[in-house]
Structure 1
């Protein structure tokens, strides 16, 4: 009771000082609202302590002073890797999507899927899911069973967790305080009188608090969603058959031979394309020279010497 009277006198003194010194009334009321929130919490704690002391302990309670422990809020991420033939990757992906769709109560949802046939016998794939946290471990076992039926095998499995308990508790506490502050500021804005500038400043303070409330609610929703639904990432790999076997080096040698033969043919085609015009031009020049040269002249223009007939 004394603390309440003291708080009332303090608030009156603050208003008097603000009137005398010309301090902005909106800022004073904003501080008063925050002081009222703190005082309300303190009064509630003071009233709760005598009630807790006067109430008799419940039967079966081991220790009434024990601090309750909240359940850990952990966001899990599962990462699986499977190796199977390249042609079976799309089939395995469709089988895993079917398992996801069969889960009741929207317990699984597909976020992303991709695969690439690659070249030859090599291919890769990826599947991104979100699975209800309690069902995620059993779902991982069903994924491995589906790949076994496609002739593949599991090559990796990783589980990672992030404890969001402290972040969630802090965000909830901040959200409660901001909501209470918004209510107090709205009430003060509704009942107060002042200039237009003061009203605009007060409305701006309410808007800022409401923005903080929306942001805190968004963070809280996102963190709770991560706890409720675990992330499941599935990677699919395939390797060319025969790698590391007897036929592997032979196949690589034939591939090298075919590559070198292709390069040789390509170089020959390029050489012909470059020299063919000049060859045609030279052939035309030779033809014209032979066609129009004198009968008594050689190809190079020298006069042909004719032997005189021998005398009897």
Structure 2
């Protein structure tokens, strides 16, 4: 029994060290860091708070072709996450109708293709309405949707004020996370094998069980990270902002030019009144200044000149 105990203790220690070697930079335990296996189907309720489970799709989590990189190996599959943003300026009364049409199109596509994250409408006054909407959808669906938005905006008499697309390469993150997951699963299998043999003392078995529980929790965490990364690749994001065109004249904003002509005589009288008021306030000071100037010129200045006159 003592001999078996001496063998189990180094084995547990070696397995513990193996758990720390499953990081992105380790190379001893994972010989093949190739393409990770396809992620299982994710639930919409888990990611977005929806009620229905997302149905299985064969293309879920598959790599999407991205731009060539100088450091990428020839023929290597890449995982690219795309993000789009769009700004629309629409005529009066068109913001709410356009947003509702976009929300309807996304919901009709189904949760496997498009999911509305949020949509908001803000009413500043009766003439100006703004809003925003965020959704996640398949890249091919978003491409078709953006083309339809361009056509609908032009038909409604609106303008596209901004448009941008950004791409994030998640290839290394997905491959490294998958490698960590494989390493932890190998460790989990070895720990389960030790428990099945039930060699060693009760303390040794308890130590193996604690290590197995830790590894199982680590596997669940890594799987969640891998699902989130794959979802970002499979479902691109799109943010749309809406605003109302500002008209030169409107009922809520008034007519500045008409108001200026209508208030012309009122403003003129106000200006003349201000001038008269200023003159009335300054008149006593002008009188006092005139008296001082008269005394200076008639009495003080002649005396000063006589004092400066040289003697004969």
TM class by smaller structure: 0.5 to 0.7
Q: Mark the CA change 1:40 to 1:131 in structure 2 (over 3 Å): closer, same or farther.
A: closer
- Following superposition, the deviation at residue 250 of structure 1 comes to 2.9
Q: CA RMSD of the aligned region, Å?
A: 3.6
Picking from 218, 229, 236, the partner of 1:223 is: 229
Q: CA deviation at 1:26?
A: 6.4
Are residues 212 and 40 of structure 1, via their aligned partners in 2, closer, same or farther at CA, if it must alter by over 3 Å? closer
* CA positional deviation for 1:151: 2.5
Q: 1:87 aligns with which of 93, 96, 102?
A: 93
Match of 2:6 in 1: 19
User: What are the superposed Cα offsets for residues 175-218 of structure 1, whole Å, 9 maximum, x if unpaired?
Assistant: 11111110011101221333333222111111111111111111
Residues 1:33 and 1:156: Cα distance change in structure 2 (over 3 Å):
closer
Q: Does 1:30 align with 2:15?
A: yes
1:109 matches 2:115: yes
C-alpha contact (below 8 Å) 1:29/1:188 kept by paired residues: no
Q: Does 1:250 align with 2:235?
A: no
Deviation of 1:226 (Å): 0.7
Q: Could you tell me how far apart the structure 1 residues matched to 2:241 and 2:28 are?
A: 56
d(CA) in 1 for partners of 2:15, 2:159: 64
Q: CA 1:39 to 1:160, structure 2 compared with 1: closer, same or farther past 3 Å?
A: closer
- Indicate the residue corresponding to 2:282 in structure 1: none
Gaps of 5+ in 1: 1-14, 43-66, 257-312
2:174 to 168, 171, 195: 168
Taking the aligned partners of 2:78 and 2:29, their CA distance within structure 1 comes to 30
**Residues 220-258 of structure 1: per-residue CA shift (max 9 Å, x gap):** 111111101110111001243107xxx85337769x9xx
Report the equivalent of 2:125. 119
User: Does the 8 Å CA contact 2:139/2:236 hold for their aligned counterparts?
Assistant: yes
CA distance in 2, matches of 1:182, 1:252: 80
How many residue pairs end up in the alignment? Answer: 213
State the TM-score, normalizing by the size of structure 2. Answer: 0.59
**Where do 1:271-310 residues align within 5 Å?**
none
**Hey, what does 1:187 align to over in structure 2?**
193
Three-state SS of the structure 2 residue aligned to 1:240 is: coil
Higher mean C-alpha displacement, 215-224 vs 93-102: 93-102
Query: Equivalent of 2:79, from 61, 73, 83?
Result: 73
Partner of 2:161: 155
Indicate the structure (1 or 2) with the bigger Cα radius of gyration.
Answer: 1
Matching residue within 213, 220, 223 for 2:219: 213
What SS is found at the alignment partner of 2:78? Answer: coil
Change (3 A) 1:148 1:102: farther
Q: 1:32 to 1:158 in 2, by over 3 A?
A: closer
The answer to whether the Cα contact below 8 Å between 1:80 and 1:233 also exists between their aligned partners in 2 is yes
- CA pair 233-105 structure 1, distance change in 2 beyond 3 A: closer
Q: Are the aligned partners of 1:26 and 1:201 in contact in 2 as well (CA < 8 Å)?
A: no
| Residues 1:140 and 2:130 aligned together | no
Q: Cα offset for 1:104?
A: 6.6
SS at match of 1:125: strand
- What displacement does 1:135 show? 2.7
